[in-house]
Amino acid sequence: GLWSRLSRTMVCTAETSKTFSGHLSPFVKPSHYRLRLKPCLQTFTVTGKVEIDVDIMKETPEIILHSDVLHINSVDIKTVTQNFSDVSYHFAGETITLMPLAPLAVGKATIAIQFTGELRRDMQGFYRSSYQGEDGREKTIATTHFDSGCARLAFPCFDEPSFKARFDVELVVKKTITALSNMNVVLTDTEGDGFKMVRFATTPLMSTHLLSFAVGELKCSEATTKQGTTVRVYTTPVEMRQDKCSIDVAKRALEWYAEWFAIRYALPKCDLIAIPDMGRREDSKENWGANTFPEIDLPFNNFSQMSNGKKGEIELIAAHELAHFWFANLITNYWWTDLSLREGFVSIMDDLFVGRNYEEYQIRLRLARKETTSVRYLDVPRNPLQQVPHGSPNELDEIYYPSTYTKSNRMLCKYMGEEKFQERLRLYLARRCV
């Protein structure tokens, strides 16, 4: 049945599925990253260093991990008994193979890599976004989009969703700009030459595609949920508004989901970051603790003048990404498949949230009309609900159908009734979340 299928396809610990080709070795598993990045918003370059603690489950002559379009400056592998400072490496596609002089024994090791990269322009990896400042000059902020398989564009890593690990992040930036990541700031220190180092708290176990950074001239408004979570909405200074609608939606959604799932939001803060030239709402990203959205949707400019239909659509976007904190971040797919389970469950949750908290928008009626037409004419029978055995994250666009978001789970909720549906989801999350 669906519940047993769900158990097989979602993961809370770093286990590797052997179903599809193209996976990294299941015998080398990351447990902790220490990542330091220094992005330059003038030259659009990034210098970085990453240390990755790994568990070696079987003696191996090499370690393969992901790295794409990065220049590797040095590699070092340390074990309990040896320091392999002379490590050769070569690239193949989007991976790098590290080859020490002798095989690595079973146990723990630390991989240290120094590298350089760039702030891209294609909204993948660590990329830059531009806007016109209050003085009329072009300004730049840098942010991330790591879904799917794009973390490897920013730093060498084990870039598969089943390889969950903890992350310590440090960002070195100019003193005058803001640096954000998934977690709260624990230390800010002077680096010299007008720079500062911003260190963030250690993340919970999570996949690489949920990691996030944002650097630039950003301003925020904030509130606190009744569970004590700090909620902040960040925008560029030129777009800063006093409108509190975005804060209200985020605060109310985190409170409502925590009660509905009977599991508190796991992080101490939740940032919603408006990106200036992010054009598509589909590019919104559920980075744990640091959501990114198109600026057009945050902080809901001219919200009071919008129609109820438009208001409901905008609130659905925020509610959808926030629901992923439970169903995608706490628990995660083994691989880039079964999207209908991940997106379908979240879609029923954003529907329920907006329907319950903003009844005046009549969102359920509007969605029913829109999605019935969409699925009927664009999706059936060409794209039936099924597990899609794609081996590469690059093929994901082929399986983001309308039905990915609308089939299966809404039918299941309707069939079971919301009370029983809620009971089973609560039990499932309680058993499997980290």
pLDDT in tens, 75-105: 999 998 888 888 888 888 799 999 998 999 9
pLDDT in tens, 268-288: 999 999 998 876 666 788 999
Q: Which amino acid is at 244?
A: K
Catalytic one among 222, 321, 418, 423?
A: 321
Residues with Cβ < 8 Å from 6, sequence gap 6 or more?
341, 428
Crossing angle (nearest 10°) for helices 418-432 and 245-261 = 80
Give the other-Cβ count within 10 Å of 29's Cβ: 21
Most confident range, picked from 85-99, 118-132, 343-357? 118-132
pLDDT at 332 over 60: yes
Radius of gyration of the chain (CA): 22
pTM of the model: 0.86
Give the other-Cβ count within 10 Å of 431's Cβ: 10
Q: Which residue has the higher pLDDT, 295 or 59?
A: 59
- The reported pLDDT for the residue numbered 167 is 98
Beta bridge partners of 166: 32
79-93, 295-309, 389-403: which has the minimum mean pLDDT?
389-403
Count the alpha carbons within 13 Å of 93 in the hemisphere toward its beta carbon: 9
> Is residue 66 part of an annotated ligand binding site?
no
- The reported pLDDT for the residue numbered 19 is 33
Lookup result for tokens 């009971």: 423
Q: Is the peptide bond before 384 cis (omega within 30 degrees of 0)?
A: no
pLDDT at 5 over 50: no
Mean pLDDT (the chain, rounded): 82
- Is residue 88 helix, strand or coil? strand
In 208-265, alpha helices (H): 245-261
Average pLDDT on 186-206 reads 96
Q: Which residue has the higher pLDDT, 401 or 63?
A: 63
Instruction: Give the whole-angstrom CA distance, residue 290 versus residue 182.
Output: 5
Instruction: Give the whole-angstrom CA distance, residue 247 versus residue 224.
Output: 9
Instruction: Give the whole-angstrom CA distance, residue 85 versus residue 403.
Output: 50
150-159, 220-229, 248-257, 366-375: which has the minimum mean pLDDT?
366-375
Q: Is 321 a catalytic residue?
A: yes
> Is residue 343 part of an annotated ligand binding site?
yes
Evaluate whether 77 touches 109 at the Cβ level (below 8 Å): yes
Query: 56-93 burial by CB neighbour count: b if 16+ within 10 A, else e?
Result: beeebebbbbbbbebeeeebbbbbeeeebeebebeeee
Using a pLDDT cut of 70, give the percent of the chain over it.
77
Instruction: Give the whole-angstrom CA distance, residue 143 versus residue 136.
Output: 22
Q: For the CA atoms of 50, 53, 57, 61, what is the dihedral angle to 10 degrees?
A: 40
- The reported pLDDT for the residue numbered 279 is 65
Q: What are phi and psi of 134, to 5 degrees?
A: -65, -25
Average pLDDT on 131-137 reads 87
